[in-house]
Amino acid sequence: MRLANIVNLGIKELRSLGRDRVMLALIVYAFTGAIYTAATAMPETLNKASIAIVDEDRSALSTRLVAAFYPPHFNPPTLITAAEMDARMDNGSITFALGIPPNFQRDVLAGRTPDIQLNVDATRVSQAFTGAGYIQTIVATEVAAFLQHYRAATVLPVDLALRIRYNPALNKSWFGAVIEVINQVTLLSIVLTGAALIREREHGTIEHLLVMPVTPFEIMAGKIWAMAGVVIVAWTAALVLVVQGMLGVPIHGSLALLLAGVAVNLFATTALGIVLATLARSMPQFALLVILVIVPLEMLSGGMTPRESMPTVVQTIMLAAPTTHFIMLSQAVLFRGAGLAVVWPQLLALIVIGGVLFGVALARFRKAIGEMV
């Protein structure tokens, strides 16, 4: 093995990538537009939900309830008649329809318990459950304030001191941005490395390499360091310009430690890309294999859903995935400012998994080259 061969082969890969405009556009979008969209376009909390109110009471209390719904959780409510409610729910123009019955205020003041009807369009799952809880709380709070003629909190025997750590503003974009950066690192490292090998095979340049004084290890190592370097540069730019700059997400931990985690994770995921490329015979086959692999990696590694909420079998199986440990490491460093004393088990796991994947990739690559010869 000669280091000069690995360096020169990696430079060749960078030159080849520089001529691939489609792949360059994918890299730029993945670390800019995709991150910004994931952080801002898919709210996890109720945001500007459409609501209509049927006010058949026309009292001070019902007017107070109408005025209690306002942005950012709800759009200003539309006053409709009972006959319009079903039609608007059917055409999807409203998500919630609140019906206030006649004599509502009189019944409340008389100590009776009148019913308020709430219709919810449950096809809008992201808002239906959360919005129903918001509306129930708003109605109960406004009715209680109206009866007491002032807003008063019930004195409890226990005082709950709430301390929100790591995301005190409960800003959903913080979580979305960081998770998308993590996902893009995994996706691009697999795609770039595997596509580089597939491109060599389709263009016939892999045969040229076989007649040169280079070993399969040098060829594979050159592809891995080149593509990993591209991802690291793009990741750093995205973290500084998009996550910190555009979205204002604070970084609490050590960037050097996080960079070390990214590098070790890339050691594993780029090797995985080589494995998939040796299994595929063409770029379309490789794309299908990437879909089959990347979806479970992103969905079951703890980024989208906490691992604790998954079945025990899934949790155990996903410990063999590098993304599971990379997500744990990244969240600990970025959100909680954890140091090496906290994340060293994840680093060690990534090194072990990366070593295994690299060995498998090298064996597969040598076998694929042997078949060509």
- Average predicted confidence (pLDDT) for the chain: 85
- How would you classify residue 156: left for phi > 0, otherwise alpha for psi between -120 and 50, otherwise beta? beta
Q: Which among 70, 71, 123, 69 is positioned nearest to 92, based on CA atoms?
A: 123
- Across the range 288-300, mean pLDDT stands at 89
3-state secondary structure 9-53: HHHHHHHHHHCCHHHHHHHHHHCCHHHHHHHHCCCCCCCCECEEE
Query: How far is the C-alpha of 223 from the C-alpha of 78, rounded, in Å?
Result: 59
Q: Are residues 369 and 216 in contact, defined by beta-carbon separation less than 8 angstroms?
A: yes
Q: Are residues 270 and 228 in contact, defined by beta-carbon separation less than 8 angstroms?
A: yes
The vertex-321 CA angle with 202 and 178, nearest 5°, equals: 90
Query: How far is the C-alpha of 289 from the C-alpha of 280, rounded, in Å?
Result: 8
The gap between the terminal CA atoms of the chain, to the nearest Å, is 21
Tell me if the bond preceding 72 is cis, omega within 30° of 0: yes
Task: Answer with the residue of higher pLDDT: 90 or 53.
Answer: 53
What number of CA atoms fall less than 13 Å from residue 310's CA on the CB side?
Answer: 19
Helix (H/G/I), strand (E/B), else coil: 78? strand
pLDDT at residue 166 greater than cutoff 90 = no
Q: H helices within 68-113, ranges in order?
A: 82-91, 104-109
Q: Are residues 372 and 210 in contact, defined by beta-carbon separation less than 8 angstroms?
A: yes
The percentage of residues in the chain with a pLDDT greater than 90, rounded to a whole number, is 24
Q: Which among 180, 186, 146 is positioned nearest to 296, based on CA atoms?
A: 186
Q: Which residues contact 241 (CB under 8 A, 6 or more apart)?
A: 32
Domains of the chain by range and CATH? 3-42+170-372 (no CATH), 51-148 (3.40.1710.10)
pLDDT in the model for residue 44: 57
Query: How far is the C-alpha of 367 from the C-alpha of 344, rounded, in Å?
Result: 35
Is 179 exposed, middle or buried, given 0-12, 13-18 or 19+ CB atoms closer than 10 A? buried
Query: How far is the C-alpha of 225 from the C-alpha of 210, rounded, in Å?
Result: 20
pLDDT in the model for residue 160: 65
pTM score, two decimals?
A: 0.73
- Across the range 130-134, mean pLDDT stands at 87
pLDDT in the model for residue 215: 81
Query: How far is the C-alpha of 276 from the C-alpha of 151, rounded, in Å?
Result: 63
Query: How far is the C-alpha of 264 from the C-alpha of 46, rounded, in Å?
Result: 38
Question: The tokens of 345 are what?
Answer: 């088990």
Q: What is the dihedral of CA 289, 294, 297, 298, to 10 degrees?
A: -160
pLDDT digits (tens, 9 = 90+) for 247-291: 888 888 888 898 999 999 999 999 999 899 888 888 888 889 999
Side-by-side strand order, sheet with 117-120: 78-79, 51-55, 96-100, 117-120
pLDDT at residue 180 greater than cutoff 90 = no
Q: Which among 116, 118, 135 is positioned nearest to 56, based on CA atoms?
A: 116
Query: How far is the C-alpha of 253 from the C-alpha of 244, rounded, in Å?
Result: 13
φ, ψ (nearest 5 deg) of residue 74: -130, 150
| Local confidence band at 157 (pLDDT 50, 70, 90 cut-offs) | low
Q: Are residues 323 and 301 in contact, defined by beta-carbon separation less than 8 angstroms?
A: yes
